[in-house]
Structures are given as structure tokens and as C-alpha cells.
């Protein structure tokens, strides 16, 4: 499991054009693309259009809408030339992904109205894999992409979907294109880019399963950490996130968030939820900072921002924090964020913040 990147875009596009090149002599306008309402020609144009649109949004740092242009083929473009267009637009997206800084985000509507370079790479790969499947199905050509590409797309864009016995059948099932034993058919679906929450001097950046996997194994999760980070609590939280993902109970909005310093893009700690809220609307929050980032107000800023976000939701009524009695600094953080002490014993002091 790994983060999707520009090389993955090129690999997906190469697989697409290699498979479809065997059928360039067919009339793609006369062949439906699998279960889609489009024909194969329309679907191929859609793939190229999405690739260049993602590249433009990321390179142009679009914030509120897609960059206002649309791909138009020259009259008389044949199938072989159309595949060249897909190769070219794929190369543009790969270049945009490779050159975008880690913290840059640009517009995409699903579901939080932005994506970073990993998200745009994953969306491009998803478009290519899924629509190559559709066209190949219509044309009667066998097609199966590399398992690691499908796995990366699932971990990046479908963190709410429990991994199946194999990545490619699971991705097809998750997008309404196939069956998976023991699971109900999917009739409606959306992918999920990760959530980010601004918090003054910080950005709370939602952790993806692939990044959590890296952190659990001792890596950096794709973040540039300050000295002493990530702290052990962050790695523990990443492991819990990964277990929830593997069990199919991970809700990506109730996530672990890496606290990224706005001024230099460096990660100083992590904060997040111990799962989704219960039926009573209660959800627990935990956090930690690298030792070199403590005493500067970062945890308080992040906790205030995350609390505002959570309590604005209909499914959250109470935030809970449990702290070691001897951890005076952490107790001061929750108090400054508006939490009130509700209980205490020799092991934990409990604080709550209500809507």
C-alpha cells in the first residue's frame, strides 16, 4: 500500500493504450462502453478530458471551480490519434503531480471541494483504470490492471471501503461494476479525497490509509516532520486508523489529522478522533506534538479548530478528552479550548465540550 504518484498515472495510461490499441480498427462510436450509457469513443474522450482537467486544476491552483475550458478533438481524429491524446493528457497530469508541492490543494467537488497532488494522481488513475475496463468490456478485450494500482486507488479514494480479497475486483465492486462475495451490490458511489481543516498557523491534514501504513512501519507518512516527530502517539493512532480501514469501519471524516505548520509545511504533531461518534453523539479526541513543537500554542489552535468543525455536525453533540492526571500541559490545552472537567480518578481526568 502506497501513495499514488505521477509514475502511477503513466503506468495506468500505458496499460490503457496498450490494450485499446488492439481495437483501433473498430468503430468505437458503435460500441457501448460496458455498463455505461456512453459509447467507447465518448468514453475515451472523457478520459482524456478528465486527465487534462485534473492537470489544469492542480497546475493552475484552481480554488472554486474547474479551469473553464474543455478538450475538443480535431474533426476526423481517428482512434489511434485519440489514444495519443490520452497519452499526452496523462503525461500532463503526471508532470503536474510531480511538480506540485505537498501542501498544494486545488478544486475538486468530492467530497470536501479540494484535493492534493496524491488525490489528483489517484483520481486520474481511477478514471483510466475504470473506463479502460468499460471500453474493454464493450469491445470484448481482456483487461486487468496491476493490483498495486487498484490497491492505491482504493486506499486513497475509498478509505470507507473495506479491502476485499483482491484489489481489482474490490474496486470494480465499489464503483458498481461487479459483484463481491458477501457484499451487497453497489448502486451509488462517490470517492473521498482527504479532509483538511485550517487552524490559524496550522492545517489539519487528514491521514490516508497508505500514509498511516508508512507511519506505523516507522516512516514519515509523506510528511516533513520537525525534529523529534512523529511522536509515538502519532504512530499508535496511525495503526488504529489502519486497523479500522482493514475492518471496514473507518469513517474518513473522523480521522487522524497531521498538524502541518503553514509557514514552512513541516508537520509538528497529530490530532484526531478515537472512531466515529456513537448514537449519543459522543466522540473522543486525542492528540500529541513532537517535543520540539510544544509550548507554542499549536495544540490549542488545532483543538479549537477541530472542535468547531466537529460540533457543527448534526451527528456530534459532545467531545471527550481523557488525560493523564500528571500531564499538566495537556490539561491546560483542553481547558483553553473550552473543555470542562467532568470526572477524575488516579488514572485519567475526563473533560467534555458540548455543543
Q: Determine what percent of the chain is predicted with pLDDT higher than 70.
A: 100
Residue 200, pLDDT above cutoff 90: yes
Using one digit for the tens of pLDDT, what is the confidence trace for 208-237? 999 999 999 999 999 999 999 999 999 999
Cα 20–23–27 angle (5° rounding)?
115
Task: Report the alpha-carbon distance of residue 354 to residue 291 in Å, rounded.
Answer: 30
For residue 46, what pLDDT is reported? 98
Q: DSSP assignment of 129-175, as one string?
A: HHHHHHHHHHHT------HHHHHHHHHHH-TTSPP-SSHHHHHHHHT
Instruction: Look at residues 233, 307, 219 and name the one whose alpha carbon lies nearest to residue 269.
Output: 233
Using one digit for the tens of pLDDT, what is the confidence trace for 1-25? 899 999 999 999 999 999 999 999 9
Same-fold call for 6-174 versus 196-354: no
Mean pLDDT of 176-185: 96
For residue 1, what pLDDT is reported? 85
Q: Tell me: domain 196-354, CATH 3.40.50.2000, correct? A: no
Instruction: Look at residues 53, 195, 216 and name the one whose alpha carbon lies nearest to residue 113.
Output: 195
Cell representation of residue 224: 516533513
Sign of CA dihedral 246, 249, 250, 252: positive
Instruction: Look at residues 96, 156, 153, 165 and name the one whose alpha carbon lies nearest to residue 129.
Output: 153
Instruction: Look at residues 44, 51, 101 and name the one whose alpha carbon lies nearest to residue 73.
Output: 44
Mean pLDDT of 77-89: 98
Which CATH fold would you assign to the domain 6-174?
Answer: 1.20.120
How much is the mean pLDDT over the chain? 96
Residue 201: band (very low, low, confident or very high) from pLDDT cuts 50, 70, 90:
very high
Beta bridge partner(s), residue 248: none
Using one digit for the tens of pLDDT, what is the confidence trace for 272-287? 999 999 999 999 999 9
Domain limits, the chain: 6-174, 196-354
Instruction: Look at residues 165, 178, 142 and name the one whose alpha carbon lies nearest to residue 15.
Output: 142
Task: Report the alpha-carbon distance of residue 152 to residue 146 in Å, rounded.
Answer: 10
- Tell me if residue 70 falls in helix, strand or coil: coil
Mean pLDDT of 88-97: 98
Using one digit for the tens of pLDDT, what is the confidence trace for 285-321? 999 999 999 999 999 999 999 999 999 999 999 999 9
Using one digit for the tens of pLDDT, what is the confidence trace for 240-252? 999 999 999 999 9
Using one digit for the tens of pLDDT, what is the confidence trace for 132-154? 999 999 999 999 999 999 999 99
Amino acid at each position: 500500500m502506497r501513495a499514488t504518484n505521477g509514475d502511477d498515472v503513466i503506468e495506468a495510461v500505458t496499460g490503457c493504450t496498450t490494450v485499446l490499441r488492439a481495437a483501433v480498427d473498430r468503430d468505437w462510436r458503435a460500441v457501448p462502453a460496458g455498463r455505461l450509457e456512453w459509447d467507447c469513443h465518448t468514453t475515451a474522450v472523457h478520459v482524456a478530458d478528465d486527465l487534462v482537467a485534473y492537470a489544469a486544476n492542480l497546475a493552475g491552483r484552481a480554488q472554486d471551480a474547474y479551469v473553464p475550458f474543455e478538450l475538443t478533438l480535431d474533426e476526423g481524429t481517428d482512434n489511434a490519434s485519440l489514444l495519443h491524446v490520452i497519452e499526452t493528457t496523462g503525461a500532463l497530469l503526471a508532470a503536474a503531480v510531480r511538480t506540485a508541492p505537498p501542501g498544494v490543494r486545488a478544486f475538486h467537488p468530492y467530497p470536501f471541494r479540494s484535493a492534493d497532488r496524491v488525490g489528483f494522481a489517484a483520481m486520474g488513475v481511477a478514471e483510466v483504470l475504470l473506463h479502460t475496463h468499460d471500453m474493454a468490456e464493450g469491445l470484448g478485450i481482456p483487461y486487468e490492471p496491476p493490483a498495486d494500482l487498484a490497491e492505491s486507488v482504493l486506499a486513497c479514494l475509498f478509505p470507507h471501503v473495506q479491502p476485499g480479497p483482491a484489489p481489482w475486483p474490490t474496486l470494480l465492486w465499489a464503483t458498481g461494476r461487479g459483484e463481491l462475495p458477501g457484499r451487497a451490490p453497489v448502486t451509488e458511489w462517490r470517492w473521498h479525497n482527504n479532509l483538511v481543516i485550517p487552524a490559524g498557523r496550522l492545517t489539519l491534514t487528514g491521514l490516508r490509509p497508505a500514509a498511516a501504513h508508512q507511519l506505523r512501519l516507522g516512516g514519515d507518512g509523506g510528511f516533513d516532520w520537525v525534529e523529534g516527530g512523529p511522536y509515538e502517539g502519532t504512530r499508535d493512532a496511525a495503526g488504529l486508523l489502519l486497523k479500522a480501514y482493514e475492518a471496514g469501519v473507518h469513517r474518513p471524516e473522523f480521522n487522524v489529522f497531521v498538524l502541518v505548520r503553514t509557514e514552512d509545511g513541516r508537520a509538528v504533531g497529530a490530532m484526531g478522533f478515537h472512531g466515529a461518534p456513537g448514537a449519543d453523539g459522543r466522540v473522543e479526541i486525542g492528540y500529541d506534538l513532537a517535543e520540539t513543537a510544544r509550548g507554542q500554542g499549536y495544540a490549542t489552535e488545532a483543538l479549537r479548530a477541530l472542535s468547531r468543525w466537529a460540533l457543527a455536525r448534526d451527528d456530534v453533540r459532545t467531545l471527550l478528552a481523557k488525560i493523564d492526571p500528571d500531564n499538566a500541559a495537556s490539561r491546560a490545552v483542553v481547558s483553553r479550548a473550552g473543555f470542562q472537567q467532568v470526572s477524575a480518578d488516579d488514572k485519567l481526568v475526563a473533560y467534555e465540550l458540548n455543543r
